[in-house]
């Protein structure tokens, strides 16, 4: 069995943003030459998230607005109070949303193709922008 490790770099100048990185992952699967297996996508950061959902910018805006209702950027958080002298640490909202969204996605590979539903894409959700992120992609199979 092959096990291949790759990294995908993500960056957003926007504080809150959704980006589709399906094609980056798909190209890594093709490059791996794995015909039957799985791709594990892991986000090692605590203030952004990954998920599988529709590639629709209107939906992305709806998601970001919903996140703001759940955990507003300007909310009253103990984490932010604890680090009030550190502007880069005023990000409790991002930690909360990351916990709800998750940090990993596993997808099947069949006949050399990444398997996704008709409307599904692999999305990176930036919740504390202006940071360079490295997403780990592990491809396993035959």
- Identify the pLDDT of residue 12: 93
- Identify the pLDDT of residue 71: 98
Alpha carbon dihedral 108, 111, 113, 116, in 10-degree steps, equals: -50
Alpha carbon dihedral 89, 95, 96, 98, in 10-degree steps, equals: 150
Which stretches in the chain have pLDDT values below 50? Answer: none
From the candidate CATH numbers 2.30.42.10, 2.60.120.460, 3.40.630.10, 3.10.20.590, the one assigned to the domain spanning 2-141: 2.60.120.460
- Identify the pLDDT of residue 88: 85
Name 121's Cβ contacts closer than 8 Å, sequence gap at least 6: 20, 22, 52, 53, 54, 55
pLDDT tens, position by position, 78-95: 999 999 999 889 999 999
Cα gap 37→128, rounded to integer Å: 33
- Identify the pLDDT of residue 130: 87
DSSP 90-133: --HHHHHHHHHH-SEEEEEEETTEE---TTEEEEEEESS-S-EE
């Amino acid at each position: 069995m092959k096990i291949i490790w790759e990294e995908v770099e993500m960056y957003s100048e926007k504080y809150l943003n959704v980006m589709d990185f399906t094609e980056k992952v798909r190209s890594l699967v093709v490059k791996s030459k794995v015909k039957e297996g799985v791709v594990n996508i892991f986000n090692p950061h605590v203030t952004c998230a990954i998920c599988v959902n529709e590639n629709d910018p209107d939906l992305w805006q709806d998601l970001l607005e919903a996140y703001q209702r759940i955990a507003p950027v300007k909310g009253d958080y103990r984490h932010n109070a604890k680090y009030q002298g550190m502007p880069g640490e005023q990000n409790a909202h991002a930690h909360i949303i990351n916990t709800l969204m998750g940090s990993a996605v596993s997808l099947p590979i069949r006949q050399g193709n990444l398997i996704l539903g008709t409307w599904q894409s692999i999305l990176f959700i930036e919740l504390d922008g202006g940071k360079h992120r490295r997403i780990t992609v592990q491809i396993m199979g035959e």
